Structure 1
Amino acid sequence: MKKPPKLKGRTDPVFDLLGKSPHKERLSDYLALLKPLDDQERYLPFDELRYRWAPGLDSNLCWALVKKARTAQYSSLLPLGEPVQWGNFMLTPLAHKAVSAVDRQTTTAALEFMTSQIGEHAHFSYLLNDLIEDEAISSSQLEGAATTTRVAKEMLKRKRRPRTPDERMVIGNFKMMNFAWEKRYEPLSVALILDMHRVGVEGIDDAQYSPGEFRGNDDVVVQDGEGNTVHTPPPAAGVMSRLQLLAKWINQSHNDPEHVEYLHPLIKGIALHFALGYEHPFRDGNGRVARALFYWYMFKSDFSAFRYIAISILLRNAPVKYGRSYLNTEADDLDLTYFIDFQCSVILRAVSGFTQICQNHCGSGLARSHRV
């Protein structure tokens, strides 16, 4: 992946460059790029945009124009790393669509209304329990668990003891998701993060995972499929204080729409997901804890339908895009828009799938009631 060029100092001098040869002869072509999105309203990284610019244009100057338009719409999001750097983002049309879908279809009130329309309530309750299992299974498979969905579901439904480390991973994830639901009324704390990790990985391979303990050294890195290091987490020293800072930000209220710091819970939950993955505080199991914390925050924010919405099924089917959304953010000065947009696209599809299931059962239930 080619990283975007670093822009030195203020980007205002870009307009001085546009007035000089050879750029001024292509002035209209350059000025058409002074916008944060492409013509299809996508928030693309430099590595993809550079192939879409007209031949003959200076790619560094093109990027400077795009970046100038984006920074004008940035909002500071949360503190990350060591030394502390604030991650930024802008709310894209895709994010707006995801926020709207979440508000309309996943609140506790919306869930209660949908379930009240179902004819065979016992059958629907069985279906909801089935959906609860999906996230635990797919999150484990995303991390490499070599077990089929059918076998994993059979184990969970029969409460059979796990026979392999992969099955223990599924059980751990299932317990962690239930733990996230049970602890939804608690504030975020370092102790809660540690407990979530312990619940999720204890008994899988304790020597590998060190359940409920932060890594003590800097030998943990994130690698791609070819063994290349793509992310070096912040140093182990200071992990406690950085996560305390993260918890303070999460526990701070951003719910007042009249306030300049208003932030929708979906965006805040996605930011929490990113922050845990970026920090990588554990020897292993970081991705599972990061996704569980996203769910915990959505539960906490009264979006109860997320208990039945399995985001990891879609992430499992697009692991490269999932990983690249992290890398694009880190490569572009912690612009979290890339990660937020990818997660919003996944959440939109997951919410739509859940709503369709509910509507199908609602329709069949109403049809049966009419026949009676």
Structure 2
Amino acid sequence: MAPHWIWQQPDWPGFRWQAEALAPLLRECVQTQGQLLGMTGAVTASLSAQSELDALLQNIVTSSAIEGEQLNVGSVRSSLARRLGLEQGDDTPVSQRSEGLANLLLDATRHFNQPLTIERLLEWHEWLFPDQTSDFAHRQIRIGTLRGDEPMQVVSGRLDRPTVHFEAPPRQGLEQQLQTFIDWFETSRHQADLDPLLRAGIAHFWLVTLHPFDDGNGRLTRTLTDLALAQGEAQAIRFYAMSVSILDDRAGYYRILENSQKATLDITAWLTWFLQTLLRSLQQAMKRIDSVFCKARFWQAHRNSALTPEQIKVLNRMLDGGEKGFEGGISAAQYQAVAKVSKATATRHLAELLEKGCLERMPGGGRSTRYRVSYPAR
């Protein structure tokens, strides 16, 4: 009978891949990674800490969102900020869940030089499910220990006719399989002929295929991927969030995993998807860091401009960009709503910002006049 799952292959886990096919994409990832690290080297300490906070927060929130869980963003931010030594200026209550998730990701990235052990993975699992009185309890998840003897399947569809997308290796022998993975993870770190980015992709696929826990396998696998990437860069500070790009292609993520877990030990297709997703993460981070530079240059140029608190509030929102940053420009009515001022005051404030060179008129005019940030020349 032919093997149905990849772990049933006689040479498991002897992964192989087509290096020549991956080479151009791998080269682009390495170059982009180098450019990003070069950019972040010029960031001031305070901006660096804030950028790291944003990346870590995105990673935690989106990694849970991939599994369909919505976290309290404010609570997670507060937990991270305190550990990074950043004042947040609010009294957002912090939950055990947020504390555990902050511990988890910071242990993986800050302590990247510490060895990976089964005990460390079990502690990570406890941090992932810290509140045993919550809704996790009624699902009878084994926390801080490996999964039980029953078959571990990923299914969808009707209860009476489920579709089995994946079945993990049997419970018997799981400790040895996990130890084999951990031994490889430790020795491969110093393997000169294995690129660190490929190593991260292999580690991701291998651990999620073992599926060693009742729940949380995807989140712990993505945490392990962050550990592998931090080891490859030999630095603890994270400026990009790969989980964001995975969430952007969530269906593709599950599809490539399912296809690869039913295939041969040639994981070229999986590594291609992994590197493409990593590249998008790096490119998004470069755009974000560039916007941080632009914002810093703007305020340096206008450090002596006498601006009202309302003007500063609106400018910061425009400089931060995104959906709430008025990428299509801001109108007088929108300024009035955001700044919470009268129509006359909004008109006066905008005129002052034009005069001081903070804003510029966009093409068009009349009642539809819109304004955008006037960035100083580089």
- Which TM class, normalised by the smaller chain length? 0.5 to 0.7
Q: CA deviation at 1:360?
A: 3.0
1:355 to 2:286 alignment? yes
Whose relative contact order is higher, 1 or 2, with alpha carbons under 8 Å and at least 6 apart? 1
- Match among 144, 169, 172 for residue 237 of structure 1: 172
- Match among 288, 312, 329 for residue 260 of structure 2: 329
Q: Confirm or deny: 8 A CA contact 1:135 1:310 kept in the other structure.
A: yes
Q: Confirm or deny: 8 A CA contact 2:155 2:163 kept in the other structure.
A: yes
- Which residue does the alignment assign to 2:309? none
Q: CA deviation at 1:291?
A: 0.6
- Match among 56, 64, 68 for residue 144 of structure 1: 68
Residue identity opposite 2:273 in structure 1: F
What CA deviation, in whole Å up to 9, does each residue of 1:282-333 have, x standing for no partner?
0000001111011111112235377231111222222221011112212221
SS in structure 1 at match of 2:266: coil
191-200 or 131-140, which moves further after superposition? Answer: 191-200
- Match among 112, 131, 134 for residue 55 of structure 2: 131
Q: CA deviation at 1:225?
A: 5.7
Q: Confirm or deny: 8 A CA contact 1:266 1:298 kept in the other structure.
A: yes
362-371 or 88-97, which moves further after superposition? Answer: 362-371
- Which residue does the alignment assign to 2:114? 186
Flag the 1:175–1:225 CA change in 2: closer, same or farther, 3 A: farther
Q: Confirm or deny: 8 A CA contact 1:270 1:294 kept in the other structure.
A: yes
- Which residue does the alignment assign to 1:117? 42
Q: Confirm or deny: 8 A CA contact 2:32 2:279 kept in the other structure.
A: no
Q: Confirm or deny: 8 A CA contact 1:82 1:234 kept in the other structure.
A: no
Q: Could you tell me how far apart the structure 2 residues matched to 1:219 and 1:116 are?
A: 48
What CA deviation, in whole Å up to 9, does each residue of 1:126-158 have, x standing for no partner?
232122111000001111113475786578665
Residue identity opposite 1:209 in structure 2: I
Gaps of 5+ in 1: 1-5, 8-78
1:248 to 2:183 alignment? yes
1:280 to 2:205 alignment? no
Q: Tell me the TM-score normalised to structure 1 length.
A: 0.66
- Which residue does the alignment assign to 2:142? 210
Give 1 or 2 for the bigger CA radius of gyration: 2
- Match among 165, 169, 175 for residue 103 of structure 2: 175
Q: CA deviation at 1:255?
A: 4.5
SS in structure 2 at match of 1:144: coil
Q: CA deviation at 1:175?
A: 2.5
Q: Could you tell me how far apart the structure 2 residues matched to 1:358 and 1:210 are?
A: 40
Q: CA deviation at 1:234?
A: 0.4
Flag the 1:325–1:305 CA change in 2: closer, same or farther, 3 A: farther
- Which residue does the alignment assign to 1:267? 198
Flag the 1:248–1:116 CA change in 2: closer, same or farther, 3 A: closer
Q: Could you tell me how far apart the structure 1 residues matched to 2:112 and 2:8 are?
A: 26
Flag the 1:132–1:223 CA change in 2: closer, same or farther, 3 A: same
What RMSD, in angstroms, separates the aligned Cα atoms of the two structures? 3.2
Report 1:48-67 matches (<5 A). none
Residue identity opposite 2:33 in structure 1: Q
92-101 or 188-197, which moves further after superposition? Answer: 92-101
What CA deviation, in whole Å up to 9, does each residue of 1:159-194 have, x standing for no partner?
5233xxxx93x5543321112124311222222222
What CA deviation, in whole Å up to 9, does each residue of 1:175-224 have, x standing for no partner?
21112124311222222222221222222525633221001213321124
Q: Could you tell me how far apart the structure 1 residues matched to 2:100 and 2:24 are?
A: 34
Q: Confirm or deny: 8 A CA contact 2:112 2:230 kept in the other structure.
A: yes
SS in structure 2 at match of 1:138: helix
Q: Could you tell me how far apart the structure 1 residues matched to 2:292 and 2:64 are?
A: 28
SS in structure 2 at match of 1:236: coil
- After TM superposition, which residue ranges in structure 1, 4 or more long, deviate above 6 angstroms? none
359-368 or 203-212, which moves further after superposition? Answer: 359-368
- Match among 117, 137, 154 for residue 222 of structure 1: 154
